[in-house]
Amino acid sequence: MSKHILILAGDGIGPEIMAAAEKVLNKVNDKFNLALTWEQGLLGGSAIDAHGEPYPAVTSVQAQKADAILLGAVGGPKWDNIERSIRPERGLLKIRSELNLFANLRPAILYPQLADASSLKPEIVAGLDILIVRELTGGIYFGQPRGIRELENGEKQGYNTDVYSESEIKRIAKVAFDMASLRGGKVCSVDKANVLEVTELWKQTVTDLQQAQYPNIQLSHMYVDNAAMQLVRAPKQFDVMVTGNLFGDILSDEAAMLTGSIGMLPSASLDENGKGMYEPCHGSAPDIAGQNIANPLA
């Protein structure tokens, strides 16, 4: 059965890279007779300009009926000063959440040709192949309550809530274990269990699941500060890393840079049935947008 793709080019270099991606899509489609079809939609700043919001209802309808989504990047200085609740990034968070794309896979692979592009010594990174599994629809990104309030003394106070339920932890840990069984069989779960209760539960839940269902996976745990350090000290010790939304955001940028350029790395965000949104790890790079120089190999 033919599959339908929604292309959301987004902002900045998004439309440039998506034009290139579409050429590839066309070729692959013809060559392998895939009978893929696709349409374009708006997300982020471009959607704000057209509809006044970053994830308008029309895009939501397109996204729900598509079999998969290909996304460029969203955001840029043009929309930096608009109200927080309708900034371009909110569109990205909303589509992730609405489609339940809780499993974010971010591989960091160093291709031999790029060993010199890394800021680390080639022997530290040569052959690097890490998969970061980031929980994408929970944690402090979505936890309530959140906001900026005014205290009695007139001072403002910002606050967010980091929250994970057992079921959320289990389903992302399961993805990590399943992925690891297709690769090196090792999972490192990253937490801050020495300080944060939410990650104490994370650690316990991941451990319980491994013991009950994945006895063949080698599970280790690491505090996030140590993990950040180990990623630059000896990154090849890792196979699959699984962590929450915020730590995953940070560590995946760090891991990407080990490979020389964040511009080269893909990311897949999947729901329970494997429906996914596929995007590059990089942002909209407004500083180089519109000059046709986004291609790191050109």
**Spatial distance between the Cα atoms of 40 and 45, rounded to a whole number of angstroms:** 15
Q: Which helix (H) or strand (E) holds 225?
A: helix 224-233
The smaller minimum CB distance to ligand IPM, of residues 11 and 219, is found at 11
The smaller minimum CB distance to Mg ion, of residues 56 and 248, is found at 248
Taking the complex as a whole, the smallest distance from the CB of residue 284 to Mg ion amounts, in Å, to 12
Token pair 């939501």 is found at 60
Q: Is 141 a catalytic residue?
A: yes
Q: Which residue is nearest to ligand IPM (CB)?
A: 89
Q: Which of 192, 203, 214, 239 is catalytic?
A: 192
**Spatial distance between the Cα atoms of 84 and 8, rounded to a whole number of angstroms:** 21
239 binds, among Mg ion, ligand IPM, none (CB under 5 to 8 A by kind): none
Taking the complex as a whole, the smallest distance from the CB of residue 116 to Mg ion amounts, in Å, to 25
Helix and strand numbers (H, E) in the chain are 9, 12
Listed residue (287, 237, 202) closest to 130, CA to CA:
237
Stretch that binds ligand IPM, among 6-14, 34-42, 88-96, 258-266 (CB under 6 A): 88-96
Listed residue (237, 131, 243, 108) closest to 179, CA to CA:
131
The smaller minimum CB distance to ligand IPM, of residues 219 and 227, is found at 227
Q: What is the CA radius of gyration of the chain?
A: 20
Instruction: Determine which residue in the list 22, 53, 89, 129 makes contact with ligand IPM, applying CB under 6 A.
Output: 89
Taking the complex as a whole, the smallest distance from the CB of residue 252 to Mg ion amounts, in Å, to 6
Stretch that binds ligand IPM, among 22-30, 87-95, 111-119, 222-230 (CB under 6 A): 87-95
Taking the complex as a whole, the smallest distance from the CB of residue 99 to ligand IPM amounts, in Å, to 14
Token pair belonging to 53:
């919001």
Listed residue (238, 242, 108) closest to 174, CA to CA:
242
Q: Is 225 a catalytic residue?
A: yes
Q: List the strands of the sheet with 276-280, edge to edge.
A: 37-41, 4-10, 68-73, 276-280, 266-270, 103-109, 129-135, 240-243, 186-191, 218-223
**Spatial distance between the Cα atoms of 216 and 251, rounded to a whole number of angstroms:** 26
Task: Kindly state whether residue 224 participates in binding ligand IPM, applying the rule CB under 6 A.
Answer: no
Instruction: Determine which residue in the list 249, 259, 260, 270 makes contact with ligand IPM, applying CB under 6 A.
Output: 249
Listed residue (52, 56, 139) closest to 98, CA to CA:
56
Degrees (nearest 5) of the Cα angle 257, 109, 225? 50
Q: Is 80 a catalytic residue?
A: no
201 binds, among ligand IPM, Mg ion, none (CB under 5 to 8 A by kind): none
Stretch that binds ligand IPM, among 89-97, 149-157, 161-169, 171-179 (CB under 6 A): 89-97
Instruction: Determine which residue in the list 11, 162, 168, 249 makes contact with Mg ion, applying CB under 5 A.
Output: 249
CB 224 within 8 A of CB 188: no
Task: Kindly state whether residue 92 participates in binding ligand IPM, applying the rule CB under 6 A.
Answer: yes
Which residues in 189-208 contact ligand IPM (CB under 6 A)?
none
Stretch that binds Mg ion, among 34-42, 197-205, 223-231, 245-253 (CB under 5 A): 245-253
Give the residue numbers annotated as catalytic, written as ranges.
Answer: 141, 192, 225, 249, 253
Judged by the rule CB under 6 A, the positions of this chain that interact with ligand IPM are 89, 92-93, 249
